[in-house]
Amino acid sequence: MNISARNLDFKELNEQIKAVGEDVCINNCYGQRFIGTGLKGRTLTINGTPGNALGAYLDGAVIEVNGSVQDAVGDTMNNGKIIIHGNAGDALGYAMRGGGIFIRGDAGYRTGIHMKEYKDKKPAIIIGGKVGSFLGEYLAGGLIVVLGIGSEDVPVGNFTGTGMHGGRIFIRTDKEPTGLPSQVTAGLASDEDLREITPYIHEFADYFSMDAELLTKDRFYVLKPNGKNPYKQLYTAN
């Protein structure tokens, strides 16, 4: 079913999406917030620019945006897929705990903040371009992959991995990341490391009509929590 979001506020639009009960294509989207909140078992295609908190608490649905998105996409997302053919704003995947987010272009500050995993639930964020500062802030689990397509420098901002105590961050670059906090270690990704992210890169390439083999043959650095110098503020002092 097609819905035109023109002249609809976010409440009216979301009420229509919920009432339909089937796959929906939204046209003329201009900043309406909270689209797809808690959605499960359906596909939502959006033409335009949705507002903040797209796919918040998503629980198994697929959301695809032919355009860019604003802040807090996938906030506390539990399962499903979010596919963005443009750029993303700040706090992408905040507290995300399952599913996958795939961004064709760049993402803003605090991508993957407070991401976590539990048992077989491992969230993943794949960024095609570059990201802003505080990538993976307080990361507790899951995978973040920054492909840096078109970037001539390390495609991340400052303070990457601040407070990181779980999960892993992969960065496709020829230059070793510098200026990392003491609770993070960085090294070249091994063949075993790359096997973990290769399926996600192939999925990314399928969504955006790219060559996965070209992306996976390049050098990746992997960032991990430093077990010898953990993030002490998370623990109560004896």
pLDDT digits 0-9 by tens, 164-222: 999 999 999 999 998 898 889 999 999 999 999 999 999 999 999 999 999 999 999 99
pLDDT digits 0-9 by tens, 13-65: 999 999 988 999 999 999 999 999 999 999 999 999 999 999 999 999 999 99
Residue type, 51: G
Residue type, 221: Y
Task: Say if CB 80 and CB 62 are below 8 A apart.
Answer: yes
Q: How many residues does the chain have?
A: 238
pLDDT value for 231:
59
pLDDT value for 63:
98
Torsion, Cα 62 63 65 70, to 10 degrees, reads -140
Q: Where are the domains of the chain?
A: 2-234
pLDDT band for 236, please (50, 70, 90 cuts): very low
Q: What CATH class is the domain 2-234?
A: mainly beta
CA 189/CA 186 separation, integer angstroms = 9
Ordered DSSP codes for 116-161: --BTTB--EEEESS-B-SSTTTT-EEEEEEE--TT-SS-S--SSTT
pLDDT value for 170:
98
Give the chain's end-to-end CA distance (angstroms, integer). Answer: 59
pLDDT value for 182:
86
- With a cut of 90, say whether residue 94 has pLDDT above it: yes
- With a cut of 60, say whether residue 227 has pLDDT above it: yes
pLDDT value for 237:
45
Handedness of CA 119, 139, 160, 152 (dihedral sign): positive
Report residue 27 as tokens: 């046209």
Does the pTM surpass 0.85? The reply is yes
Average pLDDT over residues 64-79: 97
